[in-house]
Amino acid sequence: MRVRTWWWASAWFLTSMGWSGAAYAQAGQPPKVDPGDTAFVLLSAALVMLMTPGLALFYGGMVRRKNALATIMQSFICLALVGVAWVVYGYSLAFGPDKGGLIGGLEWVGLRNVGLDPNPDYAPTIPHQAFMIYQAMFAVITPALITGAFAERMKFKAYVVFVCLWSTLVYIPVAHWVWGAGGWLRTLGALDFAGGTVVHITSGVSALVAALLIGKRLHYPSEDMRPHNVTITLCGTGLLWFGWFGFNAGSALSAGKLSVVAFVATNTAAAAAALAWMFLEWWDRGEPNVLGAASGAVAGLVGITPAAGFVSPMSAIVIGLGAGALCYLAVVKLRPMLGYDDSLDTFGIHGVGGVWGALATGLFASKLVNETGNNGLFAGNPAQVLIQLAGVAATVVYAVLISFVLLKALDATMGLRVKEEAEEEGLDLSEHGQLAYDPL
């Protein structure tokens, strides 16, 4: 009797969570899956996944050696936390049936009805689950970006709760606004090819809120806090640049002309931004800084993300140059002037670069490049700039407000920051009981 009860309970659970045959095959003739497009999107998903370990190295090399392992862990654990939450409820709320343009429904919870046939609302030539897992990798890396703002001083347990709540309350709604079928910004006509608004603006402005609320590192800026290993940071930069092709070109969701457009624009903008930052710093400070060149490349990748599938290669150069110059000014001039401690310049690169990229899309987008998009200002449609500005403003206000409330609530209940002695000792040992390196 117990075996029969267990069997029926298991069958009900699996069926309710979407693992019945109905989730994988629909009545009638299903849409045709293109094997080439499917392989391309799965490879792109793997490249985007690689960006999170790449980010871990990029950030890990920029902190002091006593915090290297803790910083890497903050990025790595997002793969696990968001990876599970996305399957259980995140994908349904972000891309599920629209509820008033603000959020998706619960019809796809546990991937119920998310099967192996294409969903024409998103990607008509690949399995629905391929689109789902591709989008999961975007959701994974976004909260990891924020960690650069509070590196070397946040409690790990508070961080774990923050990632889960922030992903649910900030990332998921904004993803639905911009990319979800029926989302209000998508309906308005806002252009965001691969996440300038959804990924970079949300994380960048939330990072600034976190840096201000958590406060400066002990002894900042009087103590030497230079990166402990720029070589590791450059390796992370290379992995980010490599993975970004999956981020941007993969957002075409098929192997074709549009993916080529996005691939070329991505590489071109990153190269232009690296040069802009390097030469500007060389002129301003008298030396071509290695970390600056790496930061410039990332700034260019951020700036081109929303525009990658809508602009020509020459426009990508302009966007890259603008990203390199503006992010340099934000990091080297604005941050010291205002005195806040955004440890690894998440706001200066992702916030500023994301805003520039979103607005630049409204300037340079052309239907000659992508006929499914809109023309921008320089193609005769000045209204697109206003639409982009509306999307930026709404995202900034929402992300700042929710992040502020969330961080305040966590600080009041469990505390955000480690004790001073733990910070002096280093988070590697005080939070994780391990060291990245043998003691000197």
Report DSSP letters for 378-432, one per residue: GGT-THHHHHHHHHHHHHHHHHHHHHHHHHHHHHHHT-SB--HHHHHH-HHHHHH
Domain assignment present for residue 5? The answer is no
pTM summary value: 0.93
19 occurs within a structural domain? no
pLDDT for 439: 76
pLDDT at residue number 421: 97
Is it the case that residue 1 has pLDDT exceeding 50? no
Please report whether residue 20 resides in a domain. no
Helix segments in 28-151, DSSP class H: 35-60, 68-85, 91-95, 128-146
Is 157 inside a domain boundary?
yes
The total domain count for the chain is: 1
The answer to whether residue 2 is domain-embedded is no
Hey, what are 332's tokens?
Answer: 């080297």
Please state the rounded mean pLDDT for residues 13-26: 40
Q: Is residue 22 part of a domain?
A: no
pLDDT at residue 13 greater than cutoff 80 = no
161: Cβ contacts below 8 Å, ≥ 6 apart: 410, 414
Give the pLDDT confidence of 116-142 residue by residue, as tens digits. 999 999 999 999 999 999 999 999 999
Residue 105, domain CATH: 1.10.3430.10
At residue 171, does pLDDT exceed 50? yes
Confidence of residue 17 (pLDDT cuts 50, 70, 90): very low
Does residue 427 fall inside a structural domain? yes
Give the model's pLDDT for residue 320. Answer: 98
More confident residue, 402 or 222: 402
Q: How many CB atoms lie within 10 A of CB 40?
A: 23
| Domain presence at residue 145 | yes
Q: Which two tokens stand for residue 60?
A: 């890990």
* Domain encompassing residue 114: 31-432
What pLDDT is stored for residue 95 in this prediction? 98
pLDDT 10s digits, 38-64: 999 999 999 999 999 999 999 999 999
With a pLDDT cut of 70, the percent of the chain lying above it is 93
- On the question of pLDDT at 8 being above 80, the answer is no
pLDDT at 29 (0 to 100)? 60
Res. 22: pLDDT tops 70: no
> In the predicted model, what is the mean pLDDT of the chain?
93
- Given a contact cutoff of 8 angstroms between Cβ atoms, the answer to whether 304 and 267 are in contact is no
